[in-house]
Amino acid sequence: MKSSITLFLVNAVFFVIVAVVYGFFTDFTEMVGFPALLLTGVMSGMIGVYLWLTDRRVGRQPQDSEQAEISDADADYGFFSPWSWWPIACAGSAAVAFYGIAMGWWIFPFGAVLGLVSLVGLSYEHDRGDHAH
């Protein structure tokens, strides 16, 4: 976590400096780049401070040690199905729904229905067939 804290705080300082320099070059008249760069620096600083406060509260993490093994991290990342086609169906239905929002609202319900079907399929894929528990 120490490297993440350093990375975010260095990014915060960098983006604030770049925002000020950019503001001087544009005489602070360009109202997209300067605020965007400044907010990027501020948000990066917020993440860095949050990680710093969390690190003080939690203590030493396995990723901070050079001798740590991958198995030292005790988090369970879940169970994923490498053979599943349902995530592709979810992504396709989201693409249809977003296309409907952009091009015509009459397309959106088709994407929403496909999304519900693919989400139910993704949720219940291990409840039947060869992979039932």
The tens digit of pLDDT for each residue in 36-53 reads: 999 999 999 999 999 999
**DSSP H or E segment with residue 19:** helix 2-25
**Rounded Cα gap, residues 49 and 83, in angstroms:** 40
**Rounded Cα gap, residues 131 and 83, in angstroms:** 11
Work out the average pLDDT over 25-41.
93
Share of the chain above pLDDT 70, in %: 91
**pLDDT tops 60 at residue 133:** no
User: Does a structural domain hold residue 12?
Assistant: yes
User: Does a structural domain hold residue 133?
Assistant: no
Instruction: Give residue 39's domain range.
Output: 2-61
- Residue-wise burial string across 45-59, b where 16 or more C-beta atoms lie within 10 A, e elsewhere: bebbeebbeebeeee
Centre a 10 Å sphere on the Cβ of residue 41 and count the other Cβ atoms it contains. Answer: 20
Q: Model confidence over 82-111: pLDDT tens digits?
A: 888 999 999 999 999 999 999 999 999 999
- Residue-wise burial string across 74-109, b where 16 or more C-beta atoms lie within 10 A, e elsewhere: eeeeeeeeeeeebeebbeebeebbeebeeeeeebbe
Phi-psi region of 78 (alpha: psi -120 to 50; beta: other; left: phi over 0): left
Domain shared by 57 and 90, yes or no: no
Domain shared by 53 and 98, yes or no: no
Domain count, the chain: 2
Query: pTM here?
Result: 0.54
Domain boundary residue, one of 23, 44, 61 = 61
